[in-house]
């Protein structure tokens, strides 16, 4: 497996990540994060760096638990890659993200002990999803694909 954080040929950091789409009824699980440098707050899908030795599914499950307190299960081979640039904490990252969907295996979250920029869990109405995640076009497109993927399964 390629190391999750490496230099791109144009000196941007390449970050390999997994993000997970979790639905409960007509609500989508999100995590509210505040950029440490700019102070801008947005809601994201739970996710983060794929650690050495982790599968995409393992990373998505671990990150969801760490960021939201919800334990989930993720199908091992369901999802797709998106490649995009993302500015966070005064650094331009080139993200390669595996987007997948997961199922809740517990309805009450565990306590979250994450970074101070994590402001907590948000459940987003499915009808508001595209506008909520509209701050990042690639994330908005991934949400649209994940919504369609869930409807087909």
Choice between 75 and 11, residue whose per-residue pLDDT is larger: 75
Report the SS3 class of residue 61.
helix
H/E stretch holding 24: strand 13-24
Tell me the Cα Rg of the chain. 15
Reference 48, options 7, 80, 5, 90; nearest CA is 5
- pLDDT of the residue at 12: 60
Which stretch of 23-37, 47-61, 69-83, 137-151 has the lowest confidence by average pLDDT?
Answer: 137-151
- pLDDT of the residue at 152: 67
Computed over every residue of the chain, the mean pLDDT equals 88
Structure pTM?
Answer: 0.86
Question: Into which CATH architecture does domain 5-152 fall?
Answer: Alpha-Beta Complex (3.90)
Phi, psi of 89 (to 5 degrees): 55, 45
pLDDT at 125 over 60: yes
Structure tokens at 100: 């997948």
Question: Which band of pLDDT confidence, cut at 50, 70 and 90, is reported for residue 11?
Answer: low
DSSP class per residue in 84-153: EEEEETTEEEEEEEEEEEEEES-SSPPP----TTEEEEEEEEGGGHHHHTTTSHHHHHHHHHHHHHHHH-
pLDDT at 134 over 90: no
pLDDT at 77 over 80: no
Query: Stretch 125-151: mean pLDDT, rounded?
Result: 87
pLDDT at 144 over 50: yes
pLDDT at 69 over 90: yes
Kindly tell me the burial class for residue 122, based on how many C-beta atoms sit within 10 Å of its own C-beta (0-12, 13-18, 19 or more).
Answer: middle
Choice between 2 and 36, residue whose per-residue pLDDT is larger: 36
């Amino acid at each position: 497996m390629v190391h999750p954080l490496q230099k791109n040929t144009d000196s941007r950091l390449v970050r390999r990540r997994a993000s997970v789409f979790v639905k409960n009824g007509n609500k989508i699980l999100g995590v509210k994060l505040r950029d440490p440098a700019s102070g801008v707050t947005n809601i994201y899908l739970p996710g983060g760096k794929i650690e050495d030795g982790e599968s995409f599914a393992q990373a998505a499950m671990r990150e969801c638990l760490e960021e939201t307190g919800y334990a989930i299960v993720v199908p091992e081979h369901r999802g797709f890659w998106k490649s995009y640039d993302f500015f966070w904490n005064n650094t331009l990252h080139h993200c390669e993200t595996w987007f997948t969907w997961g199922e809740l295996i517990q309805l009450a979250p565990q306590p979250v002990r994450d970074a101070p920029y994590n402001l907590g869990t948000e459940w987003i109405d499915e009808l508001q999803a595209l506008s909520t995640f509209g701050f990042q076009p690639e994330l908005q497109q991934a949400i649209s694909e994940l919504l369609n993927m869930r409807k087909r399964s």
